[in-house]
Amino acid sequence: MIDRKFYRNLTMPLLVTSLTLLGGCADNNDTQAAAAQPLSLDLALPDSLTGGVVTANRPVAFKSVSRSLANKAGTGEPCSFMGNENEDELFDNGYTTTRFLVSTLASWTCIADLVIDISETVPHDGVLVETDNDTQSADYDPSEPTHYSISDDSDTQVTARMYYGYDRSSPPTQDSVEDFFISWVALGEDQTEGRLVINTQALDGQPANPDDPIKMRMDFNFNAGQKSADMFLLFDNDNRWADGMRLEIHKDLTASPLGQVYTARGIINMKGQFLPVNSISEIPVIQLYAVADQLGNGASIEEIMDMSLPLEMNAQTGNHLGNYLFTKKDLYFFKDDSSWEYIHKTITAASYRGGRATAASGGSWVPFNPSLDMIIGALDLDAGYFNGAQCGELDSSCVDLLNAVFADGFAEQEKNQGTDPQDWRSQALENAQYLDSVYPNGLNWEGAFDLVFTP
């Protein structure tokens, strides 16, 4: 249905930034035992939500900082998660999108844990310190910081700052803008809140790519009853499709382990259609809602609203079934082993936007050049379909057509299959409440990535 490269451009930079550049908190060849961590942002997410831990060796996050601060390469915690194994399928259903976004957030909470753990071993004096990552060294790594500082803002608040790409002959100063900022307040074991802000372009160490996210912020708030993390991503102005992305995860510490322990909500703010057509000016919105119990059994909704769909049957003969604007609601129930339990895609709204050039009759399946009567028969549509109010006039409803198309696994997507288990997950999805904005203030990006945190 949609050219896969568009999804790759939207998602791969985020995946690379979070899982490769900040991929692992430990290296099998460069790890020493760490002391117990007094504070942790770990949400204990089940593998079905993250895809599980990546077992292959990946670059060590903040290796140089770890050596400078604590003479160790990490805490032994893996910070790389599988997410979705096939990036080409990230938006095929709500579950693959859930795993992609949740694994990204899980990586960042792990990275935050590493920095918090390291900070326990050094003075909190705000002094800028060199790391082992020398820009003039043969093994200089631009994705690693060159300088850092850690300071106490109060009796309960700590702030860590990381700087990238500075020569030792021209180090950052107290007026320099950090590329990695994390500040947190710990009020005993049961109350922690804070903020992580990064400039992803600095951490990349590569030439700027307009498809990449350029800023990331994660707010976290833990208490005796719940843990929550809220991640915001801003894309480059030159990104053709996406403005921003947000994921919020809430863990209910009071819920039954076999009930709604985890709730994830996501939204992607788009700039344009993946498949633009002249007759459609609407901008799509992608929303996500997912739930899971402590074991990892769960369900998700992905709702794609106002998406364009041109259905070209045969470009050589000019056979085009027309352009459509539709909204798709995708239900996906999954088990703790990540296998599917119930899949149901529903087109809740669809309208014809012109461009149809398919012959009424006389078509063929081989070569593929079907006519309207053949499509009506194959999809079991009414005999008078593609006329008048039945997907024939401009803006007429085409819900029956697109539901028939998606039910059979259109464009290599899964078919509708399985049975709704009618358990707590069904009720949770029935009562789903989506995020209403991608922005922290609900209106725009103003102040979203300021390097400050006030509890």
Tell me: pLDDT of 73 over 50.
no
Give me the residue label for tokens 């942002």.
41
One-character DSSP codes across 151-195:
EESSSSEEEEEEE-S--TTS---TTSPPSEEEEEEE-STT-EEEE
- State the pTM of this model: 0.84
**Band of residue 76 on the pLDDT scale cut at 50, 70, 90:** very low
Are 400 and 391 in contact by the 8 Å Cβ rule? The answer is yes
Quick one: residue 138, left, alpha or beta (phi over 0 = left, psi -120 to 50 = alpha)? alpha
Higher-scoring residue by pLDDT: 18, 105:
105
Q: For 368-394, how does the pLDDT look when each residue is reduced to its tens digit (9 = 90+)?
A: 999 999 999 999 999 999 999 999 999
Q: For 239-296, how does the pLDDT look when each residue is reduced to its tens digit (9 = 90+)?
A: 888 899 999 999 999 999 999 999 999 999 999 898 899 899 999 999 999 999 999 9
Tell me: pLDDT of 71 over 70.
no
Q: What is the mean pLDDT of residues 53-81?
A: 51
**Band of residue 187 on the pLDDT scale cut at 50, 70, 90:** confident
Residues 6+ apart with CB under 8 A from 212: 13, 14, 17, 200, 201, 204, 235, 236, 239
Separation between Cα atoms, residue 172 and residue 166, nearest integer Å = 7
Q: What is the mean pLDDT of residues 95-113?
A: 87
pLDDT at res. 205: 60
Of 353, 352, 347, 307, which is closest to residue 328 (Cα–Cα)?
347
Q: What is the mean pLDDT of residues 431-437?
A: 96
Tell me: pLDDT of 28 over 60.
no
Tell me: pLDDT of 125 over 80.
yes
User: Mean of the per-residue pLDDT values for the chain?
Assistant: 84
CA dihedral 128, 133, 135, 138 (to 10 degrees): 160
pLDDT at res. 122: 85
Separation between Cα atoms, residue 300 and residue 303, nearest integer Å = 10
Looking at the chain, the whole-number percentage of residues with pLDDT higher than 90 is 62
Q: For 172-182, how does the pLDDT look when each residue is reduced to its tens digit (9 = 90+)?
A: 999 999 999 99
Tell me: pLDDT of 167 over 60.
yes
Separation between Cα atoms, residue 109 and residue 78, nearest integer Å = 11
**Band of residue 193 on the pLDDT scale cut at 50, 70, 90:** very high
Q: What is the mean pLDDT of residues 426-434?
A: 96
pLDDT at res. 75: 37
Q: What is the mean pLDDT of residues 411-417?
A: 77
Tell me: pLDDT of 299 over 90.
yes
Q: Which two tokens stand for residue 144?
A: 């690693």
